Every structure is written in C-alpha cells, then in structure tokens.
Amino acid sequence: MTVEPGRCGEALSLGPALAAGDEFPFVCAGCGGCCRKRRDLVLSGYDLYRIARRLYLPPRVVAQAFCKSYIAPQSCLPALRLTPSPETGDCRFLEGGACVIHEARPLACALYPLGQCIDPDTGAVAYHAQLPLCGLRREGRTLRQYLADAALDERAGTDTRWAVVCTRLSRRLQDAGGPAHPHFSAAVHRIARALYWDYSLGDEFYPQFQRNVEILLPLLERIL
C-alpha cells in the first residue's frame, strides 16, 4: 500500500481496490475533521460549476474568490486548488462544524474516505479506502450503497469523461514540448476557458463541456 498525506495532515494508506458489492461499513460521523487543517483540494471544472451554481456566482468569480490558479507541473494543464482559510487552515466553506455547500461539495469531499482512480484509456473506475477509517461503522453496508447515498453514481459519467479529456489534453501539450512551445500560453488559456470558464449556470454542465471540447480540439491543432 502507498502512503500519501492525509486530508487532515495524518498519514493515510490506500487499501486494495473495492468491488461494488464489497462491504464498506463507513458512515460519516459529522466530526468535520476532513475539512480542518487540510491540504489544498484540486477542483474539476464540474466541481467549480456545481459550487458556482450553489453560490449563484459565475465560475470565474468563484475561482478568484476561493481558489488558486496554476499550471500543474506534471500535466501542464491549468488547474484550480480550493485554498483553505488563511486564519484557520480550515475549508472556507466550513461554518459551525457543517459544510455550507454540502449539496455541491467537490468530488474528493463526497468520496472521502475513498480514493478514486480512473483509467483514462478505458474509463474504468477503481475505488480504494483510505486507512485508517474515521467515522462510524454500519455492518453489511456495501460500496455500491455508499456511492449511491453520496450521489456519486449520478456524476460518475461526467467525472470519467473529465479525466479522459484532461489526460488527452495533457498528452497533446507534452508532445508539443510543454511550456517550451512558443504558443503554450495561448493553448493553456484556451484550455482553461473550455474546462472551467465558458459555462452558463442556467444550462447543464455536461452538454456544455462536450461542446467546449469539440470547439477546443481544432483550435489546438492550429496552435500547437
């Protein structure tokens, strides 16, 4: 098992992959520990859209207020991290021990304490429990039930498509030479618009995402 930093700073390890019918007895106790003293959280475009819709603010405004924009060094893609409160180190949406955007919480928050791995070539999704588990136990509960209760199965297709598209865009940027390419900045700017900014909150995310990607790919052919 591999060890990685925990969301609350503790060392966590990833257990073996879980099948949908495997027992997963975890039940959140509502302690808020995973929202406190935690590392920054990377948002997908769908995460940003959902938060923006919840706050009735444009995605770009939400990103400017609550996120740090940067170029991910490994993927060369534009990325967003949800920044914690500078005063407390807690998530900015944690108030009175509760998440004020719970219905629109990011994927990683909805998954916790699961880790999700998506194969960008096949679209296969694997889930791993981050150990040790916090919370309470409900014997007989399965992974399938946990995912359904967290409404994760409703967004699975969008999250998978996002991972596939981002992997393909990353490969294109890297094959072109990454930041060394003379038009890298222009390409990244256009990718950021397609992935994060060009969305109407009055329309559903996925059709807009698909349309943005269809417009983006021919442009990249000319830029890179």
Confidence of residue 109 (pLDDT cuts 50, 70, 90): very high
For 194-203, what is the mean pLDDT? 97
What percent of the chain is modeled with pLDDT above 70? 93
Per-residue DSSP letters for the chain?
--EEE-TTSSEEEEEEEE-TTSB--EE-----GGGSS---EEEPHHHHHHHHHHHTS-HHHHHHHHEEEEE-TTT--EEEEEPPPTTTSS-TTEETTEETTGGG--HHHHHTTEEEEE-TTT--EEEEEEES--SEE-TT-BHHHHHHHTTHHHHHHHHHHHHHHHHHHHHHHHHTTGGGSTTHHHHHHHHHIIIIIS--TTS-HHHHHHHHHHHHHHHHHHH-
What predicted TM-score, i.e. pTM, was given to this entire model?
0.90
Weakest mean pLDDT among 57-66, 100-109, 125-134:
125-134
What is the CB neighbour count within 10 angstroms for residue 107?
Answer: 22
Q: What is the pLDDT of residues 179-192, one digit of tens each?
A: 999 999 999 999 99
- The predicted pLDDT at position 167 comes to 95
Is pLDDT above 70 for 126? yes
Weakest mean pLDDT among 12-21, 45-54, 64-73, 149-158:
12-21
Q: What is the pLDDT of residues 41-83, one digit of tens each?
A: 899 999 999 999 999 999 999 999 999 999 999 999 999 999 9
* 123 vs 146: which has the higher pLDDT: 146
- Mean pLDDT score across all residues of the chain: 89
Confidence of residue 120 (pLDDT cuts 50, 70, 90): confident
- The predicted pLDDT at position 136 comes to 81
